[in-house]
Structure 1
Amino acid sequence: MTLRTRPPAASKPWTATHRLRTLRYSRFRRFLIGQSTSLLGTGMNTIGTTFAVLQMPGGGVDAVGVVMAARILAVLVVLLLGGVFTDRLGARAVMLTADLLRFTAQGALAVLLLTHSARVWEVIVLAAVLGIGEGGFSPGLTALVPGLVPADDLADANALLQITQAVTSVAGPGLAGLLIAVSDAGTVVAVDAVSYGVSVLALAGLPLSQLTTPRHGLFTDLGRGWKEFTSRTWLWVTTLHISLFNFVLWAPFLVLGPTLAQQRLGGASSWGLVLALYGIGSIGSGLALLGRNPSRALVWSVAASAGWALPAAALAARLPLGWVATAALLAGAGAAVCNTLVTTVIQRAIPAEVRGRVSAFDSLGAFALGPLGLALAGPVSGVVGAEQLLGLGVLWQLTAVGVVLAFPSVRRHGAR
């Protein structure tokens, strides 16, 4: 994929140093270190908590599902409040509080696991507390970054954060598996708690935001955020696009992919390869985006979302592992382009005083249907067939990309 970009300034040749110039800003470097550490811990935590619940009395697959559901539901419930308080108190203050909460929750869980006294209901409660922290943290991420780098370097900053997320999504589970092999799941959760502590220290060193936004009632503030969100057709259309993608395509892929891999691709190791290449594709694409400032970034973002259809299409067509893995690599590349560019567009287009609330509505809309899609994928595939369900998702995604790009507010956004 070739992005049409502005040529670099003559005084700043387009070199590796130029691509990483965003790291010159000490505030962003500090935040990136904290966020990288936190994301690595998060990548480890899912594996650690899952194995802990499977091994404890009263645990099992059903208990793992309840723990995951408690965390996701807590995130969705708190997202809008996180957006309101981000705009009221500043992103740094809310994110710092959220990470302190996550540090406390994971620290308590680590103590319970390391002392072999944890019970399933305690893990569920602490998973919900962890989700509350995540829901409070998320809106601030979009709101904080524009205050750490100049506007011209926003795309690079978001690309670096996307690269970090991809790297930690690959490294985290692998490191967790090694720690469990030589120690136990409690150690993994303890490392996750420490990672949130590092993020707390990083955020504590950032300056407080200078806020001038007047405070109103909770529902008034939410209403203002909703008005800002719905008044931009390009924003609610692209959010709806991602929401339906998660429901129709990505949830079935995540549920059915491991099963199909077990049946005809070689099992868990093959599925691990597919997910690893997805992450590698995201890393490579994120690196390619550094130093670039594409025209019509929103159009490129939506077009790149078509890449998510590729691995599901390969599975639906019963292609061998090599093709599925290659499709996952390309999907990861598209994911980095989509996520990086749409985040940059939102940060540049939304006023700072409502950025937290608009980000919260965007995140809630994008992911609200995901849990339902995960729950329905198995039963529906039992009726229509796994390959058929994935094929329907592929057709939906490709059609939806064309429909979204047909909206003038999407197609013309950012034209130069």
Structure 2
Amino acid sequence: MTTGPRRVAGTALTAGEPAVRLLAPLRERRFALYLIGQMLSQVGDGIYLVTLPFVMLNQGGGPANLGVVLACYGAARLAFFPVGGTLVDRLGARPVMLAADALRALVVLGFVVLAAEGRIPLWAMIAVAVPFGILGGIFMPASFAVLPQIVRPESLAPGNSLIQIMQSTSRIVGPGLGGALVGSLNSGVGLLIDAFTFLVSSLTLMAIRPSRPAVETADETAARHADGGVQDGDQLRTWRSVLRYAASSPLVRMNLLTTLVFNLAAVGLIDVALPSFAQGPLGRGALGFGVMMTGLGAGSVIGALLGPALLRLRRRGLIALCLGIAEGLALMGIPVGSSLVVATAALFTAASLQAVVNVFYMTMLQKSVPARALGRVMSLLVTCAGLAYPASALLTGSVLGTVDPEVVIIVAGLGVSAAFSVGFLSRPYRNL
């Protein structure tokens, strides 16, 4: 660990400071419990996302009804991001996550009971999807805000790195396990396992002893003065004051803008344009798309491993912006030569760069945003991403009928580079 006085929350690592080993947070009992529980919870999410469509389709629900159910789930989830952030700042991130996972286990068990009764009417599916979406919306900001409560401040960067590795792994394991369960057994078994993962997650959160509430120190106040967004603690009790803080803080303001623009550019590229590119110009179909997604996942893991190193470099804010611009350039290289090898390498590179940037900015937010506003700030962040998702997917889908996927991919890459280029306009942001 670092030598000298222990660094307090709200301060940033300085260049040349001794590194915290990547696996060091695992020696902290609370973080180890958290990581295990959330890995199971996210695997459960992946199982659910594969199992739900086949429950409906196998019972004659049809694609139209499936679309309605998923739209209700997504709308409920998006609408409750701010509610989740408010609850986090009032009650704490850990209790909110615990309650959300326990209730999600009950919702999934209710779904199992309905599925066992035979054909499930549309209204019943919606009655399950909406509370599941609400709980997911409450859970998400809490999961972004909980880390400062369960690890030492100097372990935030490696902790975020390990969490990102866990998330990348879960996104592969969860859907794969869900598909295997549906294919070899039945959807009900997949749902039972999903409920079990949420229950185990809530138990691990219950076993984590809460830390004392953070008390603002002089160093924290100085760090937020440097960020340009300092607010008196009492003023951050209302949403209006948090929005004023977000607007006045270069770190928060630019993160929100970058998140919105990045997701508008990248979501449609990954979820819509890439499958079309694999099916058409690349001529490799689902297999080619799967190979590219594997490259994307592997890049995310490698980038997460390298992420903490960025916080120890001089001019790290400037370097992070340059890495983001390079990510967009890498995405623009996907269609070069219509080669699966080139496309996979480009996605691997882009995902690696994005993971490094994610670890950096998430750690900086967790260190700099006042503890009593962190949940609501994180809810703003996930709301920006959530709003961009359907807009990007719809826009990309609408233009692909008249524009080649290669053009869409190049424009999306330009959009990603543009998102990070905006950061150069803010001196405090590029000088983080």
Q: Counterpart of 1:244?
A: 261
Partner of residue 221 from structure 1, selected from 238, 252, 255: 238
Deviation at 1:314, TM superposition (A): 4.0
Q: Counterpart of 1:110?
A: 112
Q: Counterpart of 1:294?
A: 312
Does the Cα contact within 8 Å between 1:297 and 1:345 map onto a contact in 2?
Answer: no
Q: Counterpart of 1:182?
A: 184
In 1, distance between residues paired with 2:97 and 2:28?
A: 20
Partner of residue 99 from structure 1, selected from 98, 101, 110: 101
SS in 2 for 1:37: helix
Q: Counterpart of 1:373?
A: 392
Does 2:413 match 1:394?
yes
Q: 1:71 to 1:310 in 2, by over 3 A?
A: farther
Deviation at 1:258, TM superposition (A): 1.4
Deviation at 1:402, TM superposition (A): 2.2
Deviation at 1:304, TM superposition (A): 3.3
Listed one character per residue, the Cα deviations across residues 22-55 of structure 1 (whole Å, up to 9, x for unaligned) are 1111011111110111111112221111222232
Q: Counterpart of 1:48?
A: 51
In 2, distance between residues paired with 1:144 and 1:23?
A: 16
Does the Cα contact within 8 Å between 1:180 and 1:188 map onto a contact in 2?
Answer: yes
Q: Counterpart of 1:37?
A: 40
Does the Cα contact within 8 Å between 1:59 and 1:120 map onto a contact in 2?
Answer: no
Q: TM-score, normalised on structure 2?
A: 0.85
Q: Which amino acid aligns with 1:388?
A: V
In 1, distance between residues paired with 2:135 and 2:119?
A: 24
SS in 2 for 1:57: coil
User: How many residue pairs end up in the alignment?
Assistant: 401
Q: 1:56 to 1:170 in 2, by over 3 A?
A: same
Q: TM-score, normalised on structure 1?
A: 0.88
In 1, distance between residues paired with 2:79 and 2:298?
A: 32
Q: 1:238 to 1:57 in 2, by over 3 A?
A: same
Q: Counterpart of 2:205?
A: 203
Q: Which moved more, 1:290-299 or 1:271-280?
A: 290-299
Q: Counterpart of 1:328?
A: 347
The Cα RMSD (Å) is 2.7
In 2, distance between residues paired with 1:57 and 1:107?
A: 21
Task: Report matched runs for 1:7-406 at 5 Å.
Answer: 8=18, 18-60=21-63, 62-208=64-210, 210=212, 221-263=238-280, 264-289=282-307, 293-295=311-313, 296-306=315-325, 308-309=327-328, 312-317=331-336, 319-406=338-425
In 2, distance between residues paired with 1:301 and 1:291?
A: 11
Q: Which amino acid aligns with 2:121?
A: R
Q: Counterpart of 2:6?
A: none
Q: Which amino acid aligns with 2:58?
A: Q
SS in 1 for 2:118: coil
In 1, distance between residues paired with 2:392 and 2:127?
A: 24
Deviation at 1:315, TM superposition (A): 4.5
Q: Which amino acid aligns with 2:391?
A: L
Deviation at 1:116, TM superposition (A): 3.4
Q: 1:323 to 1:54 in 2, by over 3 A?
A: farther
Does the Cα contact within 8 Å between 1:67 and 1:124 map onto a contact in 2?
Answer: yes
Q: Which amino acid aligns with 1:389?
A: V
In 1, distance between residues paired with 2:34 and 2:316?
A: 25
The gaps in structure 1 that reach 5 residues or longer are none
Does the Cα contact within 8 Å between 1:306 and 1:334 map onto a contact in 2?
Answer: no
Deviation at 1:198, TM superposition (A): 0.9
Identity, % of aligned pairs?
29
